[in-house]
Amino acid sequence: MITWADTDTAERLQRQYRQAAAARIARRLRALWLVRTGHSLRQTGALVDVDECTVGVWLRWYRGRGLAAVTGHRLAGKGQPCRLSADQQAALRRHLESGAVYTAQDAVAWVAEQWQGTYRLAGMYRLLHRLHARPKVPRPHNPKSTPAAQAAWQKGARRCPHRRRDSGGAGRALGG
């Protein structure tokens, strides 16, 4: 059983969900409106394309702190605080701008050397993203290639060894 606030009428909830700028907020408000108009949790979940348990979570938020909790709740929290202080982040940013760091792995090693901080590669990528830094990423390579084949290609070796050039300069298959 839900005790609805006097101001949260079905008409007001409908108006709010239709005017909501964010899709996630509109979905939550529409679910509240559907429950307010008599739909079950299962029907509401099917209509807003979420599980009925999710609708139940939104209703618990509403019961706890009202409509403000439903519209203001974020999907994730603030997360872990950064392992580096603001001064350390500024020093890392300056080091990145100096050009001494080319990859995120280099940044992980530099942070470990400077401040004995341990970062995994994924965590460093997130930190570099927050610092608006773009490290170089390794280019993919064919595991079947050999250094000799790469050197031959760089020297301008033919792409198709089974083809030869005729006097007109156009390639033609052998034996044809």
Are 122 and 108 in contact by the 8 Å Cβ rule? The answer is no
Amino acid at 31: A
Domain ranges in the chain are: 10-72, 86-130
Residue 76 confidence (pLDDT): 65
Among residues 78, 77, 108, 79, which one has the least CA distance to residue 92?
A: 108
* Residue 149 confidence (pLDDT) above 90: no
Comparison of pLDDT for 162 and 148, the residue scoring more: 148
Comparison of pLDDT for 165 and 174, the residue scoring more: 165
In whole angstroms, give the CA distance from residue 35 to residue 42: 10
Q: What is the pLDDT of residues 15-41, one digit of tens each?
A: 999 999 889 899 999 999 999 999 999
Residue 176 confidence (pLDDT): 44
In whole angstroms, give the CA distance from residue 136 to residue 127: 15
Phi-psi region of 163 (alpha: psi -120 to 50; beta: other; left: phi over 0): beta
Q: What is the pLDDT of residues 53-102, one digit of tens each?
A: 999 999 999 999 899 889 988 766 667 788 899 999 999 999 988 888 88
Residue 167 confidence (pLDDT): 52
Looking at the chain, list the stretches that DSSP marks H as alpha helix, in order from N- to C-terminal side.
Answer: 10-19, 23-36, 41-48, 52-65, 67-72, 86-97, 104-115, 121-130, 147-154
Residue 50: pLDDT band (50, 70, 90) is very high
Instruction: Report the first-to-last Cα separation within the chain, whole angstroms.
Output: 84
- pTM of this prediction? 0.47
Q: What is the pLDDT of residues 126-146, one digit of tens each?
A: 899 888 887 666 677 788 888
Lowest-pLDDT choice from 7-11, 119-123, 172-176: 172-176
Rg (CA), the chain: 30
Residue 147 confidence (pLDDT): 85
Residue 163: pLDDT band (50, 70, 90) is low
Amino acid at 70: V
